[in-house]
Amino acid sequence: MSTDETKVRPLHPEGAPRNPGFAGITGEFDLTEAQIRGTEYVGRRPVDGGHASVAGTLPYQIADRNPDAPLFEGPYAERLEKILTRYPDRQAALLPALHMAQEIRGYLSPQSMDEVAARLELPPAYVRGVATFYTMYNLQPLGKYLIQVCTNISCNLCGADAVLDAFLEHTGNDMGEVSSDGRFTVIEAECLGACGFPTVVQINERFFENVGTQDVPSILEMLK
Ligand code: FES
Protein backbone atom coordinates (compact mmCIF):
# COMPACT_ATOMS: atom_id res chain seq x y z
CA MET A 1 0.00 0.00 0.00
CA SER A 2 1.42 3.37 -0.95
CA THR A 3 1.97 6.19 1.54
CA ASP A 4 -0.86 8.13 -0.09
CA GLU A 5 -3.35 5.31 0.42
CA THR A 6 -2.51 4.90 4.12
CA LYS A 7 -2.91 8.61 4.81
CA VAL A 8 -6.07 9.45 6.76
CA ARG A 9 -8.31 11.63 4.68
CA PRO A 10 -10.96 14.11 5.75
CA LEU A 11 -14.45 12.60 5.51
CA HIS A 12 -16.11 15.67 4.04
CA PRO A 13 -16.36 15.83 0.25
CA GLU A 14 -13.96 17.95 -1.69
CA GLY A 15 -15.06 21.59 -1.74
CA ALA A 16 -17.74 21.20 0.95
CA PRO A 17 -17.76 23.80 3.72
CA ARG A 18 -15.73 22.60 6.65
CA ASN A 19 -17.03 22.29 10.13
CA PRO A 20 -14.00 21.79 12.33
CA GLY A 21 -16.23 21.38 15.37
CA PHE A 22 -17.70 18.11 14.04
CA ALA A 23 -15.90 15.29 15.81
CA GLY A 24 -16.54 12.81 13.02
CA ILE A 25 -14.26 14.64 10.65
CA THR A 26 -10.72 13.37 10.88
CA GLY A 27 -7.61 14.03 8.92
CA GLU A 28 -5.09 16.77 8.51
CA PHE A 29 -6.45 20.26 8.92
CA ASP A 30 -4.93 23.64 8.90
CA LEU A 31 -6.86 25.08 11.80
CA THR A 32 -6.28 28.06 14.01
CA GLU A 33 -6.75 27.85 17.77
CA ALA A 34 -9.77 30.14 17.42
CA GLN A 35 -11.39 27.69 15.02
CA ILE A 36 -10.72 24.73 17.30
CA ARG A 37 -12.06 26.53 20.35
CA GLY A 38 -15.06 27.77 18.42
CA THR A 39 -14.50 31.42 19.20
CA GLU A 40 -15.13 32.25 15.57
CA TYR A 41 -18.56 30.71 15.80
CA VAL A 42 -19.98 33.02 18.44
CA GLY A 43 -23.26 34.40 17.29
CA ARG A 44 -26.61 35.58 18.52
CA ARG A 45 -29.66 33.42 18.53
CA PRO A 46 -32.61 35.33 17.04
CA VAL A 47 -34.80 36.85 19.76
CA ASP A 48 -37.80 34.91 18.52
CA GLY A 49 -35.82 31.75 19.28
CA GLY A 50 -35.32 30.56 15.71
CA HIS A 51 -36.56 27.04 15.09
CA ALA A 52 -38.90 25.68 17.76
CA SER A 53 -36.48 22.85 18.54
CA VAL A 54 -33.89 25.29 19.90
CA ALA A 55 -36.17 28.09 21.11
CA GLY A 56 -35.60 27.13 24.74
CA THR A 57 -31.84 27.51 24.60
CA LEU A 58 -29.89 30.63 25.35
CA PRO A 59 -28.18 32.85 22.83
CA TYR A 60 -24.44 33.11 23.10
CA GLN A 61 -22.67 35.85 25.02
CA ILE A 62 -25.61 37.93 26.13
CA ALA A 63 -24.40 41.37 27.06
CA ASP A 64 -27.25 43.77 26.42
CA ARG A 65 -30.06 43.66 28.93
CA ASN A 66 -32.74 46.06 30.02
CA PRO A 67 -34.26 45.57 33.47
CA ASP A 68 -37.32 47.57 32.39
CA ALA A 69 -37.93 45.79 29.09
CA PRO A 70 -41.33 44.15 28.65
CA LEU A 71 -41.39 40.37 28.96
CA PHE A 72 -43.07 38.08 26.47
CA GLU A 73 -43.83 40.76 23.90
CA GLY A 74 -43.12 40.85 20.16
CA PRO A 75 -40.51 38.25 19.17
CA TYR A 76 -40.24 37.09 22.79
CA ALA A 77 -43.96 36.24 22.78
CA GLU A 78 -43.29 34.25 19.64
CA ARG A 79 -40.40 32.46 21.34
CA LEU A 80 -42.50 31.59 24.37
CA GLU A 81 -45.13 30.04 22.10
CA LYS A 82 -42.43 27.93 20.46
CA ILE A 83 -41.10 26.89 23.87
CA LEU A 84 -44.58 25.88 24.98
CA THR A 85 -44.94 23.57 21.98
CA ARG A 86 -42.09 21.50 23.39
CA TYR A 87 -43.66 20.71 26.75
CA PRO A 88 -46.75 18.79 27.86
CA ASP A 89 -48.09 21.71 29.91
CA ARG A 90 -47.25 25.29 30.87
CA GLN A 91 -45.67 24.32 34.19
CA ALA A 92 -43.08 22.19 32.41
CA ALA A 93 -41.92 25.25 30.45
CA LEU A 94 -41.01 27.16 33.60
CA LEU A 95 -37.21 26.83 33.41
CA PRO A 96 -36.83 28.12 29.83
CA ALA A 97 -39.41 30.85 30.53
CA LEU A 98 -37.35 32.01 33.50
CA HIS A 99 -34.21 31.88 31.39
CA MET A 100 -35.88 34.06 28.79
CA ALA A 101 -36.95 36.59 31.43
CA GLN A 102 -33.37 36.65 32.69
CA GLU A 103 -32.05 37.05 29.17
CA ILE A 104 -34.28 40.07 28.59
CA ARG A 105 -33.84 41.82 31.94
CA GLY A 106 -30.51 40.46 33.16
CA TYR A 107 -31.83 39.07 36.41
CA LEU A 108 -35.02 37.79 38.00
CA SER A 109 -36.61 40.41 40.20
CA PRO A 110 -39.66 39.43 42.29
CA GLN A 111 -41.75 41.32 39.75
CA SER A 112 -40.26 39.35 36.85
CA MET A 113 -40.96 36.08 38.65
CA ASP A 114 -44.56 37.16 39.21
CA GLU A 115 -44.94 38.02 35.54
CA VAL A 116 -43.64 34.59 34.57
CA ALA A 117 -46.04 33.02 37.06
CA ALA A 118 -48.99 34.91 35.58
CA ARG A 119 -48.02 34.02 32.04
CA LEU A 120 -47.67 30.32 32.85
CA GLU A 121 -50.72 30.32 35.14
CA LEU A 122 -48.67 29.11 38.11
CA PRO A 123 -48.69 30.19 41.76
CA PRO A 124 -46.11 32.98 42.29
CA ALA A 125 -44.70 31.11 45.33
CA TYR A 126 -44.04 28.04 43.17
CA VAL A 127 -42.13 30.10 40.61
CA ARG A 128 -40.07 31.80 43.31
CA GLY A 129 -39.28 28.42 44.85
CA VAL A 130 -37.91 27.17 41.53
CA ALA A 131 -36.04 30.37 40.67
CA THR A 132 -34.33 30.52 44.05
CA PHE A 133 -33.31 26.84 43.91
CA TYR A 134 -31.04 27.10 40.87
CA THR A 135 -27.85 29.16 41.02
CA MET A 136 -28.07 29.82 37.28
CA TYR A 137 -30.84 32.30 37.93
CA ASN A 138 -29.58 35.66 39.06
CA LEU A 139 -31.74 37.25 41.71
CA GLN A 140 -30.04 40.62 41.76
CA PRO A 141 -28.73 43.02 39.12
CA LEU A 142 -25.40 42.12 37.55
CA GLY A 143 -22.75 43.83 35.53
CA LYS A 144 -22.90 43.53 31.77
CA TYR A 145 -20.51 40.60 32.06
CA LEU A 146 -20.97 37.98 34.74
CA ILE A 147 -17.57 36.41 35.38
CA GLN A 148 -17.84 33.04 37.09
CA VAL A 149 -14.54 31.55 38.18
CA CYS A 150 -14.64 27.85 38.99
CA THR A 151 -12.94 27.19 42.31
CA ASN A 152 -13.84 23.54 42.63
CA ILE A 153 -11.19 20.88 43.12
CA SER A 154 -9.53 20.56 39.68
CA CYS A 155 -9.48 24.28 39.09
CA ASN A 156 -8.47 24.95 42.68
CA LEU A 157 -5.44 22.70 42.37
CA CYS A 158 -4.40 24.68 39.29
CA GLY A 159 -4.58 28.13 40.81
CA ALA A 160 -8.26 29.11 40.64
CA ASP A 161 -8.04 31.18 43.81
CA ALA A 162 -5.33 33.33 42.25
CA VAL A 163 -7.37 33.70 39.06
CA LEU A 164 -10.39 34.75 41.09
CA ASP A 165 -8.30 37.29 42.98
CA ALA A 166 -6.91 38.63 39.71
CA PHE A 167 -10.39 39.19 38.29
CA LEU A 168 -11.47 40.95 41.47
CA GLU A 169 -8.36 43.09 41.48
CA HIS A 170 -8.51 44.07 37.82
CA THR A 171 -12.20 44.92 37.93
CA GLY A 172 -11.85 46.71 41.26
CA ASN A 173 -14.70 44.63 42.59
CA ASP A 174 -15.73 42.82 45.69
CA MET A 175 -17.21 39.38 45.10
CA GLY A 176 -20.76 39.58 43.74
CA GLU A 177 -20.79 43.34 43.36
CA VAL A 178 -21.29 45.31 40.17
CA SER A 179 -18.16 47.25 39.18
CA SER A 180 -18.43 51.03 39.23
CA ASP A 181 -18.57 51.18 35.42
CA GLY A 182 -21.42 48.66 35.41
CA ARG A 183 -19.47 46.19 33.31
CA PHE A 184 -18.44 43.36 35.58
CA THR A 185 -19.68 41.12 38.35
CA VAL A 186 -17.24 38.46 39.55
CA ILE A 187 -18.39 35.39 41.47
CA GLU A 188 -17.19 31.89 42.34
CA ALA A 189 -18.79 28.89 40.66
CA GLU A 190 -18.55 25.16 41.37
CA CYS A 191 -18.12 23.16 39.21
CA LEU A 192 -18.36 24.38 35.60
CA GLY A 193 -18.03 20.84 34.25
CA ALA A 194 -14.89 21.36 32.17
CA CYS A 195 -12.52 19.98 34.80
CA GLY A 196 -9.94 18.89 32.19
CA PHE A 197 -9.20 22.50 31.38
CA PRO A 198 -8.56 24.26 34.69
CA THR A 199 -8.94 27.03 35.54
CA VAL A 200 -12.30 27.41 33.85
CA VAL A 201 -14.03 30.76 33.72
CA GLN A 202 -17.52 31.31 32.36
CA ILE A 203 -18.30 34.83 31.20
CA ASN A 204 -21.96 35.19 30.41
CA GLU A 205 -22.57 32.08 28.29
CA ARG A 206 -19.04 31.58 27.06
CA PHE A 207 -16.34 29.35 28.55
CA PHE A 208 -12.70 30.35 28.82
CA GLU A 209 -10.44 27.38 29.54
CA ASN A 210 -6.92 27.04 30.95
CA VAL A 211 -7.10 30.55 32.33
CA GLY A 212 -4.12 31.74 34.35
CA THR A 213 -3.63 35.01 36.17
CA GLN A 214 -1.59 36.27 33.21
CA ASP A 215 -4.66 35.91 30.94
CA VAL A 216 -6.98 38.05 33.05
CA PRO A 217 -5.99 41.51 31.71
CA SER A 218 -6.35 40.44 28.07
CA ILE A 219 -9.72 38.78 28.69
CA LEU A 220 -11.05 41.93 30.35
CA GLU A 221 -9.60 44.09 27.61
CA MET A 222 -11.35 41.96 24.98
CA LEU A 223 -14.68 42.43 26.78
CA LYS A 224 -14.24 46.18 26.83
S1 FES B 1 -13.39 21.82 38.88
FE2 FES B 1 -13.44 23.58 37.60
S3 FES B 1 -14.61 22.93 35.91
FE4 FES B 1 -14.75 21.27 37.31
The tens digit of pLDDT for each residue in 152-192 reads 999 999 999 999 999 999 999 899 999 988 899 999 998 99
CA of 136 to the centre of ligand 1 (A): 16
* CATH class, 52-133 region: mainly alpha
CA of 196 to the centre of ligand 1 (A): 8
The tens digit of pLDDT for each residue in 141-150 reads 999 899 999 9
CA of 201 to the centre of ligand 1 (A): 9
206-214 long-range contacts (CB < 8 A, ≥24 apart) are 206/42, 206/60, 206/61, 209/37, 211/163, 212/159, 212/163, 213/159, 213/162, 213/163, 213/165, 213/166
pLDDT category, 3, cuts 50, 70, 90? Answer: very low
Tell me the C-alpha distance between 211 and 189, whole Å. 14
Domain ranges, ordered by start, for the chain:
52-133, 145-223
187 Cβ below 6 A of ligand 1: no
Tell me the C-alpha distance between 189 and 135, whole Å. 9
The correct answer on CATH 2.40.50.140 for the domain covering 145-223 is no
Tell me the C-alpha distance between 27 and 9, whole Å. 5
